[in-house]
Amino acid sequence: MLDLAPLARFGDRVATGLLDVTSDPAALDSRGFWAVAADFEGGLTCARFAAVRQEPVPAPVPGAWHGPGVGDWTSSLDRAAYTAAVRRIRERIATGEVYQANLCRVLSAPLTPGADVDALTALLARGNPAPYAGTIRLPGHGVEIATASPELFLRRAGRVVESGPIKGTGRTEDDLLPKDYAENVMIVDLVRNDLGRVCATGSVTVPDLCAVEKHPGLVHLVSTVRGELREGAGWAELLGAAFPPGSVTGAPKSSALRIIDELETAPRGPYCGGIGWVDADRGTGELAVGIRTFWIDRGEGVLRFGTGAGITWGSDPEGEWRETELKAARLLAVASGTYEVSGGTLT
């Protein structure tokens, strides 16, 4: 077994001293501080830690991370397969089976056996800072994740819950198309319905719709959906209603999931799942959508990364492929150790 102590980082919050691990979401309403990793396919790992301290992400240590070269990555769907799948989704939209579906591909590259995901975290914090960055390192439980997610899946403060779906991506605001705005509105409606299943009647609102947010190398359209949990509903019910995140599935969600299962050739794992923390003692928590996310597969000896795009009737297959490339390019450069920031190389 790799000799790396269990650890979780979320912003400047660091958790150590693993106490227990469970797949029961009801534990998140018990006691203690939990790191949470939910796979897109439904697997859930909740890890309770004994100690939590404030500490900034450490600076990269030269030589601590030996990442794959930018050219070492292979894709579960190549360009031809991806664009063909986009065309098939458009055919499904034409027949009314679905309005939008998120199509993803998983990239894989060989990794040095002793690689530490926390060393990658140090690079990501400087090469691609993100509002919901997080790391969960549990080698003994098959969970080693570093995310630079820009997207809020679920935030909870007592009974108040909030989601921040992202739909619409461009290099600049001028690149955003009518298709991007329509896509965002569709997913906001889906998230409203998801939260409405566990929130008090009339409490679900949309404080922000299609706000433009700037992130490293690109812009997104982001909306906010908020509600108040009904009496008796907790994390188990909330995750049951909202998972997997609507922004990375499609609408209607059930139809989109069937199409995803048919067209994608690799499991998404933590990519497009939920990654974050829950403080059960305070009744608070924050889970990101697991996009812009790396994870280590020790069994295969590889590092994985996912990228995708939302497909609508207005989608251009080549344009959607380029969007997946745009979302991946900066992160893969950071992971290779060749992305330059402030005039220096992150190695």
Distances (CA, A) of 346 to 60, 65, 70, 108, 328: 7, 10, 14, 21, 17
Cα–Cα distance, 198 to 220 (Å, whole number): 28
Q: Which of 151, 228, 264, 323 is catalytic?
A: 151
Three-class secondary structure of residue 250 per DSSP: strand
Is residue 214 annotated as part of the catalytic site, yes or no? Answer: no
Cα–Cα distance, 290 to 168 (Å, whole number): 17
Is residue 327 annotated as part of the catalytic site, yes or no? Answer: no
Q: Which of 162, 167, 253, 320 is catalytic?
A: 167
Q: Whats the size of the chain, residue-wise? A: 347
Crossing angle for the helix pair 79-94 and 253-263, to the nearest 10 degrees: 150
**Nearest one of 326, 277, 256, 294 to 124, comparing CA atoms:** 294
**Nearest one of 307, 280, 329 to 105, comparing CA atoms:** 307
Name the residues annotated as catalytic: 151, 167
